[in-house]
């Protein structure tokens, strides 16, 4: 287990060494969303259901900040390690493949938790967001972070250049987060947009996290957690498969 501990330390060290880029920047960006959308638009959109608009958007913004960071951290960390070939130091070490998968996944989770924790504290101060269902919140965050951290590992292993890693972040994850009900309840959408929202996996994650904070969401929390788990487990298994077989990592 010593090797796993050191790999986890290395992946978290990278986050802490570059904290202005890895933690501060996403926190500032999310807080700006809360200030600009919540406090300015909040004057026009008073409530969503029974919740103030500035409170309503906080769970989605925290989710968006965390999943983007979890993905980006691991995609860039492992791609850099492949690109510079210092990944060989890990691949040749007496580590089991599950330890490599877990070690590389931890970095994204750590970074996302730093961002999520910072945003939670700031959101409590700024808009006094409640935490109505803490267990559901922890489950939703855990599943979401496994999903996007593992996705980062997979993309980092398949990527052949930096554009590939940023493509997924900018063209897939960010748009899905924006149309996943971060800023609105899908109940206000007309057909077919409301139905289409239900095929967006980020929609379920945002709703599961929102349920954890506010105790209410657009869909059942069990469905949200189930969909997120159904995506997280195979994605993690995919990352594990790549480390077990050495595919894309070893010639």
Q: CB neighbours of 44 closer than 8 A, spacing ≥ 6?
A: none
- Decide if residue 85 touches other proteins (CB under 8 A): yes
Is 93 an interacting residue with respect to other proteins (CB under 8 A)? yes
CB of residue 110 to other proteins, shortest distance in Å: 15
- Examine residue 21 and tell whether it contacts other proteins (CB under 8 A): no
**Which 51-80 residues touch other proteins, going by CB under 8 A?**
80
10 binds other proteins (CB under 8 A): yes
For residue 70, the minimal CB distance to other proteins (Å) is 19
b (16+ CB within 10 A) / e for 86-107: ebeebbeeebebebbbbbbbbb
The minimum distance between CB 137 and other proteins, in angstroms, equals: 32
User: How many residues belong to the chain?
Assistant: 251
C-alpha distances (whole Å) from 216 to each of 1, 12, 28, 88, 123 are: 41, 34, 27, 47, 18
Tokens read off for 102? 């877990």
Instruction: Write the DSSP symbol of residue 190.
Output: P
Under rule CB under 8 A, residue 125 binds other proteins: no
CB nearer other proteins, residue 24 or residue 189: 24
In angstroms, what is the minimal distance from the CB of 164 to other proteins? 19
Under rule CB under 8 A, residue 192 binds other proteins: no
């Amino acid at each position: 287990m010593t090797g796993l501990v050191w790999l986890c330390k290395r992946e978290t060290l990278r986050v802490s060494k570059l904290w202005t880029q890895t933690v501060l920047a996403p926190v500032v960006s999310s807080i700006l969303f809360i200030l600009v959308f919540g406090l300015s638009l909040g004057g026009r959109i008073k409530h969503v259901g029974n919740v103030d608009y500035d409170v309503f958007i906080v769970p989605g913004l925290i989710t968006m900040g965390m999943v983007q960071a979890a993905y980006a951290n691991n995609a860039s960390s492992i791609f850099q390690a492949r690109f510079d070939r210092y990944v060989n130091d890990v691949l040749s070490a007496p580590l089991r493949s599950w330890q490599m998968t877990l070690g590389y996944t931890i970095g994204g989770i750590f970074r996302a938790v730093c961002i999520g924790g910072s945003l939670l504290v700031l959101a409590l101060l700024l808009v006094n967001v409640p935490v109505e269902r803490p267990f559901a919140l922890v489950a939703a965050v855990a599943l979401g972070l496994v999903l996007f951290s593992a996705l980062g590992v997979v993309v980092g292993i398949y990527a052949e250049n930096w554009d590939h890693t940023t493509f997924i972040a900018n063209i897939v994850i960010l748009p899905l987060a924006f149309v996943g009900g971060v800023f609105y309840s899908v109940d206000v959408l007309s057909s077919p947009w409301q139905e289409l929202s239900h095929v967006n996996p980020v929609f379920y994650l945002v709703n599961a996290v929102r349920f954890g904070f506010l105790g209410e969401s657009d869909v059942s929390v069990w469905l949200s957690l189930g969909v997120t788990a159904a995506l997280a487990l195979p994605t993690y298994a995919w990352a594990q498969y790549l480390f077990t077989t050495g595919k894309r990592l070893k010639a």
